[in-house]
Amino acid sequence: MNIIFDLDGTLIDSRCRLYRLFQKLVPESNLSHDSYWSLKRRKISNETILIREFGYDEAAIVRFVADWMGLIESTEYLVLDTNIPGIHESLGRLRIDANLHVCTARQQRKAVVDQLDRLGLGRFFSNVMVTEQIRGKEEMIGALPDLSSTDWIIGDTGKDIQVGQALGIKTCAVLTGFLSEESLMPYSPDLILPSVADFRL
């Protein structure tokens, strides 16, 4: 049995990191943490927020995206991430019956491995898959030699659910990340949970 976990918004809470970076790159923004995330959780992208709220043109958005990608995985920002409450107990229990894997679309593998170790999470996983924006999650998970229809993928976005459905495995959405329950429901995951810490086999 395999369980594949997304990283940001699933195993760890990255909301503070993303909000702080948005505020740094858009100094004119007076959005609070909660108002920023209430837009994002309704699937309103940074680009749309920048156009609608701050009148950004195409060139300014291109600059924003380049700066965002350059800084979002820097040590300065990654230290803002925290463990989802109860995650150590939950992973300790699940790994008795399953092989646990991480699969993330982050850009830099080393930063992922270092962060998992810093947060005391690395020891739970037999495999850390990082797409580095070169490969797809579907391709990487699909290459697991013993993947079966009773395995699970757990993530906080519609993309994670679509990956699981394409691979014919079970899908669980969690509400600790980037999307609200209303935004996740249209993807029809097998399960929607408040947090990955609530997941039971």
| Site residues for Mg ion per CB under 5 A | 6, 8-9, 156
Comparison of 98 and 179: residue with beta carbon closer to Mg ion: 179
Q: At how many degrees (to 10) do helices 46-54 and 58-71 cross? A: 140
Q: Which residues contact 93 (CB under 8 A, 6 or more apart)?
A: none
Q: Which residue has the tokens 């999307």?
A: 179
Comparison of 26 and 196: residue with beta carbon closer to Mg ion: 196
Return d(Cα 140, Cα 110) in angstroms, integer.
Answer: 17
Q: Which residues contact 187 (CB under 8 A, 6 or more apart)?
A: 158, 161, 162, 171, 173
The least CB distance from residue 71 to Mg ion, in Å, is 18
SS3 content of the chain, % helix, strand, coil (to 5): 45, 15, 40
Comparison of 56 and 115: residue with beta carbon closer to Mg ion: 115
The least CB distance from residue 10 to Mg ion, in Å, is 5
The least CB distance from residue 153 to Mg ion, in Å, is 11
Comparison of 38 and 148: residue with beta carbon closer to Mg ion: 38
Which residue of the chain is nearest Mg ion when measured via CB?
Answer: 9
Comparison of 13 and 156: residue with beta carbon closer to Mg ion: 156
Comparison of 18 and 56: residue with beta carbon closer to Mg ion: 18
Could you say which DSSP state residue 52 is in? Answer: H
The least CB distance from residue 81 to Mg ion, in Å, is 12
Asked if 2 and 171 count as a contact pair (C-beta separation under 8 A), the reply is no
> Side chain identity at 60, as an amino acid letter?
A
The least CB distance from residue 157 to Mg ion, in Å, is 5
The least CB distance from residue 72 to Mg ion, in Å, is 13
Return d(Cα 153, Cα 199) in angstroms, integer.
Answer: 11
Return d(Cα 134, Cα 30) in angstroms, integer.
Answer: 35
Residue count of the chain, please give it: 201
